Amino acid sequence: MTHRTALGTALALALSIPAYAQAQDLLAFEYSGFENPDFHQPYIAEHGTSPEFVFFGDEDEAFQRLLAGFRSDVTQICAGSVPRWQGSGIIEPWDRAQIAAYDTLSSDLLGEDVRSGATELWWVPANFGSTAVAYNAEQVPAEDVASLSIFTNPAYAGRLSIPDNVDDAYALAYLATGVTNWADVTDEQFEAATAWLRSIHPNLLTYWVDPGEIQQLMASGQVLAAWVWNEVPVALAGEGFPVGFNRNTTEGSSVWLCGYVNMADGPGAEDLAYDYINAMHSEASAQPLLDNGFGTANTAALESLGAEQLEAAGLGSATVPLLAQLPISDEQRARQAEAFERIKAGF
């Protein structure tokens, strides 16, 4: 997941870091929007206030700022970034015993090896969502979005969009070329996915940057079909737009996963970091998260919401393969990122 922030804003935040770090007991480095108090009401109830929040535009920016000396207590990142952060030495493992919902965290998101205690807990999943094809249900026949080949269909040239995000782009490309697990792709599979992404480049109107942008492009009729996060069709439906969302394309769809890392040498009290994570996992937070397009990683809290609500939010059951955007090696992510940048530049 990628968001953007103005350089001036980033500089202003950077300059204000010492004041933040000294004034607050817990500093959360977050995606914008996660300061929503409804997401961590148990923390507020216990401590009388929210943590202090500082926001980043994307995870590469967050990583560089932390390497440069910014200190936070917890940082939200998505699963694909974990190996690089772990290797950098800027994070430390979580203590399983202090994660209240640990036993009911989804093993699909956490990983069975971590669940068994075979490895240290470097990252705690907090929320997840699906990525699939959203489309204008009045102008695009359902049969045209039954397959990911919609993106290669010349009839929709210039009316399509995918995220400006290497993980989402390659999840789509691997699915389209027959790969449903990207944990250990071969050179041939990587080349096939890259060639597919290059082949659809001329068909795309744009690579969308944030949900608001693609919602506007679809609402205006400029984009008829797009590879999007599940929060997008939920928002469009709420505005009365005739949106369809097909998670069951023949080739499959994707699931993205985000959560928290425990920053080494954070300025705040360590126990507050656990209080924040436990608040995010609480049943009280599950409904507000879902209302904003996020599924909680706590299966017990998620199941309390009921299948109908999950389906309406684009998080219901799927009948096709799901590619989980779990951590991949630094080398694989780097070569995907390099290829993606070249494709976007027209090469």
pLDDT, tens digit (0-9, with 9 covering 90-100), for 270-306: 999 999 999 999 999 999 999 988 999 999 999 999 9
pLDDT for 107 equals 79
CA distance 88 to 19: 25
Cβ atoms of residues 230 and 314 within 8 Å:
yes
Domains of the chain, residue spans: 7-128+256-312, 129-255+321-344
pTM across the whole model: 0.81
Rounded mean pLDDT, 13-36: 67
**pLDDT cut 90: percent of the chain above it:** 73
DSSP structure class, residue 123: -
Cβ atoms of residues 130 and 312 within 8 Å:
no
Scored b (16 or more CB within 10 A) or e, 287-319 reads ebbbebbbbbbbbebbeebeeebbeebbbeeee
Q: Which of 47, 38, 82 is nearest to 63 (CA)?
A: 82
pLDDT for 106 equals 86
In this structure, which amino acid lies at residue 217? L
Q: Which of 77, 73, 84 is nearest to 59 (CA)?
A: 77
pLDDT for 17 equals 42
Scored b (16 or more CB within 10 A) or e, 333-343 reads beebeebbeeb
10: confidence class by pLDDT, cuts 50, 70, 90: very low
Phi, psi of 299 (to 5 degrees): -60, -35
16: confidence class by pLDDT, cuts 50, 70, 90: very low
**pLDDT cut 70: percent of the chain above it:** 92
Lowest mean pLDDT among 15-19, 170-174, 224-228: 15-19
116: confidence class by pLDDT, cuts 50, 70, 90: low
Rounded mean pLDDT, 26-49: 95
pLDDT for 312 equals 87
329: confidence class by pLDDT, cuts 50, 70, 90: confident
CA distance 101 to 304: 14
CA distance 226 to 201: 13
3-state class of 244 per DSSP? strand
Lowest mean pLDDT among 51-55, 262-266, 315-319: 315-319
In the CATH hierarchy, which top-level class contains the domain 7-128+256-312?
alpha beta
pLDDT for 328 equals 85
264 Cβ neighbours under 8 A, 6+ residues apart: 89, 90, 91, 92
CA distance 49 to 27: 12
pLDDT for 189 equals 98
Q: How far is CA 269 from the centre of its chain?
A: 27
pLDDT at 18 over 50: no
Count of C-beta atoms within a 10 Å radius of residue 84: 18
pLDDT at 118 over 80: no
- CATH superfamily name and code, 129-255+321-344: Periplasmic binding protein-like II (3.40.190.10)
Q: Quick check: do 7-128+256-312 and 129-255+321-344 share a fold?
A: yes
Q: How far is CA 150 from the centre of its chain?
A: 23
Residues in the chain: 347
Q: Is 280 exposed, middle or buried (0-12, 13-18, 19+ CB in 10 A)?
A: buried
CA distance 174 to 339: 14
3-state class of 25 per DSSP? coil
Rounded mean pLDDT, 182-196: 96
pLDDT, tens digit (0-9, with 9 covering 90-100), for 69-98: 999 999 999 988 898 899 999 999 999 999
Rg over alpha carbons for the chain, rounded to the nearest Å, is 20
178: confidence class by pLDDT, cuts 50, 70, 90: very high
Full 3-state SS string of 254-277 = EEEEEEEEEECCCCCCHHHHHHHH
Q: Which residue has the higher pLDDT, 10 or 237?
A: 237
Which residue bears the tokens 């954070």? 266
pLDDT for 280 equals 97
